A and B are shown apart, each in its own frame.
Chain A
C-alpha cells in the first residue's frame, strides 16, 4: 500500500533505482487519485448557490453540516454493519477455501485449476452477478418455492430478498475472491516441512492452525481485509439494489447530494469517508508489516 522506498537504503544510486521502481505507480496515482482528491477537497470548502454554482472560498459550513447531522452517524452505522458482516463471512469462507487449495489438494496443477475456477463468476459483470440472486431469493423465488413445497414454511420468507441479509449475501458473493487470492498467496509460501515437523512434535491440527497457518497467513488476511473493507465502504449500488432501496450507505447518500447539485456537502462527505478509510487501513497495516511479509 505504501510503496515509498526506504530512506535508509544508502547510496544515491539505489535511491534513484527506488524512485524508478515506484514511478509507474506514481504516474498512475498522481493524475487518477491525488489530483481528483485535491479537487474534491477544494470543492468541499466552497459555498454553493443551490443550483450547482460554486463560489470559491474557504468555508467549513459543509463539514459542520455533515458532522452535525444525526443522519451521518446513522449512515456510518449502516455502512459499518455491512462492512463487518461482509468481512467476517468473506474471511471465514476465503480462509478455508485457500486452506483447502493449499494443504489438501496435493496436485499443484489441480490446485491452480481449482483456484482459477473460483474466478469464473468474475467473468460476468458485477451487476449480473448481483441481479441473478433475485430469482433465487424472491418471494416467488426458488428457495421460497422449495421450502413451501417441502412444507417447512407456509408463507414465503420475505427476509431473503430486499433486506440486509440480501445485501450481505451479494457482497460476500462478490468479494470472497478478494480474500481467497491474498490468503492463498501467503499460505502457498508456508514451508510444508514446518507443518510436518509440528506433526512429528505432536502438535494437534488445531495447534498447527493456530500457531503456524494463521500467523503465517496474516499478511494475506490483512491485504484481503483492506480490499473488502474499502470496497464495501465505497459502494452504494449493491446496497441500493439488494436492499430494494430499503437501506442507504454513506456513498449512496452523497451520490444523491450530487443528484440535487449539492456539490460541497457531497465533497465534504467524500473527504470524511476517505479519512475514515485511511484510518482503518492504517490500523490494519499496524497489525502486520506487509512490506516485510511480501518481500520475505
Chain B
C-alpha cells in the first residue's frame, strides 16, 4: 500500500450530514468502553502527567508526517486532546514523504515510515534509535514485529519485513541489525495484508488466486496499482500464481526477473488486459464503483468504501498454497527524527506510548487495519467489532466505520477470515529493491508502451 496524492478515506466514504451527531455518540461509547475496561492500563498512560510537566509541554508541537492512510488527522486530534500538547498531522504521498525525511529532516518530528523507508532513513542518519525500554507496551507488541514470527509461524522475509527493518545496534547506527536489540528504527503502528478486490456479481466465481487478475476473461476490466515498487510485486504474485515464473525473491528481483515481469506486463497491456492503472485510494474506489473494472489490486478500506455505496465488492482471500499466492503485507511505523531532544523528545515518547495505548488501534480497526498491540485496541472496540474485525466471525450486529456510518450488515464475515488467518498468509512485504532504478525504468517502459 502506498501512494496517495490527495485522497483520504477519512473524508471519503462518510459524506453524510449526520456525521457530527454520530461522532458524538461514538465518543460517548468509547468513554463507556474505556470505563468498563477499568482504570487498568490505558488511563495512566493517558492522563498521568504531573501538573508542572503539563504546563511545560503545552507549547510543544509535534509534526507527524506521512501518507494519508497512516497519518490521520482524527487520530492526531485525539492524541493532542489526551496528551495536552499540539500534534499536527501532515500528509504526503510515499515518494514525497521519503524525499522530505531525507532532504529536510528538521521539518519533521515523527516520520511515518514503512519498513524500507526506515532502512533508508537509518542509512541517511535522519532518525535516532527508539529506546525500546521506554515503550510501555513494547512487550505486548505482536512478535510478528519484534521477533519475526507469530504462533510458531515464521514471517516470510521476501521484500523488507517490519521485523527485518526494526532494529539497529546503537541509537546512531546506520545499518540495520539482524536480531533483537535495545534500539528500534521505527515503532510499528498500523499494518495490513493487501490483495485483490473484485465484483462478485460480475466476476461470477470466488477469487482466491492472483492469476485471475490477468485472466483474459477480464480483458479491459482489470486494473493494477501504479506505484512501481509495489505494483511490480502485485504483478509478480500474478505471474507466479499463473505458473509463468518462480521468483527467487519477489521483494528483491534480479534484473532478469524484472525484465521478465515488465515484458509480460507490456504484453498484457498491448492485449488490452488493463483498463487502467491507479495511484490513489480514491481512484481505485472510483474505478470499481463506476464499473470501469471488475477486478484489481486494491486496499482494504477502498473495498469498504465501494461497499458503502451498496456495490458488492469482495477482498479476495489469497491464502498461500503450494508456495504461491499470499497477501502483500505492509506496515507503517513511527520514527523519531534525529533533531528531537529534551522535552520535545520526552513528548515524542509520550506520543509513541499513546499510539500503542489502544485508541488508535480501535480507530484503524474500523476500516480494516490492524494494531501491533491488539490487546489494547480491544479495549476500544465493542465485542461485536472485535469479533468481526479480528476474529473473523459473523458480525453479531451492524458494524460501523470510524465515523459512525453503518458499513457491514449483521451476519457478514470479514473477507479472508480472522486476523491470524490473514497475517499468516502474508507472503511478501512492501520494499525498495536493490535494482530499484532499473526496475523503475522498466516500469516506465510498461507505462509508455
- Of A106-114, A178-186, A218-226, A249-257, the one contacting chain B is A249-257
User: Would A75 and B278 be within 8 Å (CB), given that A139-B290, A260-B436, A261-B99 are in contact?
Assistant: no
The closest CB in chain A to the CB of B274 belongs to A246
Chain B positions near chain A (C-beta within 8 angstroms):
6, 94-95, 98-99, 102, 120, 123-124, 220, 223, 226, 228-229, 269, 274-279, 283, 286-287, 290-292, 432, 434, 436-437, 439-441, 443-445, 447-448
Closest chain A CB from B351 CB (angstroms): 26
The reply to whether A246 and B269 contact each other, CB–CB distance below 8 Å, is yes
A-B contacts besides A127-B6, A259-B94, 7 pairs, CB < 8 Å: A52-B120, A75-B448, A140-B290, A253-B444, A259-B228, A260-B228, A262-B436
The size bracket of the interface on A is 35 or more
In the bound complex, CA of A69 to CA of B445 (Å): 10
Please indicate the chain B residues that have their CB under 8 angstroms from the CB of A173 in the complex: none
The reply to whether A256 and B228 contact each other, CB–CB distance below 8 Å, is yes
In the bound complex, CA of A75 to CA of B443 (Å): 12
In the bound complex, CA of A59 to CA of B51 (Å): 59
Chain A positions near chain B (C-beta within 8 angstroms):
50-53, 69, 71, 74-75, 78, 127, 134-135, 138-141, 158, 161-162, 240-241, 244-248, 252-253, 255-262, 265
Please indicate the chain B residues that have their CB under 8 angstroms from the CB of A265 in the complex: 437
The reply to whether A246 and B277 contact each other, CB–CB distance below 8 Å, is yes
Q: What are the 8 A-B residue pairs with the smallest beta carbon separation, nearest first?
A: A244-B276, A259-B95, A245-B277, A248-B447, A245-B226, A260-B436, A248-B448, A162-B276
Please indicate the chain B residues that have their CB under 8 angstroms from the CB of A134 in the complex: 286, 290
Q: Pick from A139, A140, A256, A258: contact of B444, CB below 8 A.
A: A256
Q: Pick from B278, B432, B445: contact of A244, CB below 8 A.
A: B278
In the bound complex, CA of A246 to CA of B287 (Å): 14
Interface of B is mostly: helix
The reply to whether B447 and A257 contact each other, CB–CB distance below 8 Å, is no
User: Would A260 and B437 be within 8 Å (CB), given that A74-B448, A247-B448, A248-B448 are in contact?
Assistant: yes
The reply to whether A256 and B292 contact each other, CB–CB distance below 8 Å, is no
User: Would A261 and B275 be within 8 Å (CB), given that A71-B444, A252-B447, A253-B444 are in contact?
Assistant: no
Q: Pick from A140, A162, A260: contact of B440, CB below 8 A.
A: A260
Please indicate the chain B residues that have their CB under 8 angstroms from the CB of A261 in the complex: 98-99, 102, 120, 436
Q: Pick from B99, B279, B447: contact of A246, CB below 8 A.
A: B447
The closest CB in chain B to the CB of A156 belongs to B291
User: Would A162 and B278 be within 8 Å (CB), given that A246-B269, A248-B444, A258-B95 are in contact?
Assistant: no
The reply to whether B99 and A245 contact each other, CB–CB distance below 8 Å, is no
Please indicate the chain A residues that have their CB under 8 angstroms from the CB of B445 in the complex: 71, 74
**Interchain Cβ contacts under 8 Å between A and B, 9 examples:** A52-B99, A52-B120, A71-B444, A140-B291, A162-B275, A248-B447, A256-B228, A260-B432, A261-B436
The reply to whether B279 and A245 contact each other, CB–CB distance below 8 Å, is yes
Please indicate the chain B residues that have their CB under 8 angstroms from the CB of A162 in the complex: 275-276, 292
In the bound complex, CA of A51 to CA of B443 (Å): 19
Q: Pick from B275, B443, B447: contact of A158, CB below 8 A.
A: B275
The reply to whether A245 and B228 contact each other, CB–CB distance below 8 Å, is no
Please indicate the chain B residues that have their CB under 8 angstroms from the CB of A53 in the complex: 123-124
Please indicate the chain A residues that have their CB under 8 angstroms from the CB of B123 in the complex: 51, 53
In the bound complex, CA of A244 to CA of B223 (Å): 9
Closest chain B CB from A55 CB (angstroms): 14
In the bound complex, CA of A51 to CA of B433 (Å): 11
Closest chain A CB from B269 CB (angstroms): 7
